[in-house]
């Protein structure tokens, strides 16, 4: 009885072809993985940016008064709570009711303009490499009277 088998040369050719196929598949997998990770980091940065702007503008709109505490720190008074923002070059910290949110938004320049000699902020501008965030707060006559008479 004769056994039919592969020769050593046929086995070596099969191993080499399998190695090329596996190597190519691995290269495609690594290339796809790099692009997926890059797209995920861009998506995360965009979501962080949109979340930061939505929360900041929402807080500034609902605030009855915005106070300048230092060159990089503001305090917002609303009817029910106080919110403070600390703007650092590499991150922004938002503190409300003892909880702190951190936004990793890199800011190059922070400009806070106040009303007359008071600590009330009426113009806030945050500048990053890619974006400028601007907010202008108009205070009504009641806030001006309260500020003049110290209420």
Radius of gyration of the chain (CA): 30
pLDDT (average), residues 117-136 = 77
Q: Shortest CA distance to 74 belongs to which of 131, 128, 129, 137?
A: 137
* Cα dist from 39 to 32, 44, 46, 82, 105, whole Å: 11, 9, 11, 37, 18
pTM of the model: 0.66
Q: 7 phi and psi, to 5 degrees?
A: -80, 165
Whether 151 has a pLDDT exceeding 80, the answer reads no
What whole-number percentage of the chain has pLDDT above 70?
87
Q: How far apart are the first and last CA of the chain?
A: 110
pLDDT at 38 over 90: yes
Confidence of residue 150 (pLDDT cuts 50, 70, 90): low
């Amino acid at each position: 009885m004769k056994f039919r088998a592969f020769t050593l040369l046929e086995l070596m050719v099969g191993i080499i072809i399998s190695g090329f196929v596996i190597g190519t598949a691995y290269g495609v997998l690594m290339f796809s993985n790099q692009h997926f990770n890059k797209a995920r980091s861009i998506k995360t940065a965009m979501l962080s940016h949109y979340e930061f702007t939505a929360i900041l503008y929402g807080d500034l709109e609902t605030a009855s008064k915005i106070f300048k505490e230092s060159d990089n720190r503001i305090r917002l008074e609303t009817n029910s709570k106080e919110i403070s923002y600390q703007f650092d070059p590499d991150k922004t910290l938002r503190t409300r009711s003892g909880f702190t949110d951190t936004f990793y938004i890199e800011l190059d320049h922070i400009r806070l303009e106040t009303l007359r000699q008071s600590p009330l902020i009426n113009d806030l501008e945050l500048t990053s490499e890619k974006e400028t965030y601007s907010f202008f707060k108009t205070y009504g006559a009641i806030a001006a009277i309260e500020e003049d008479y110290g209420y």
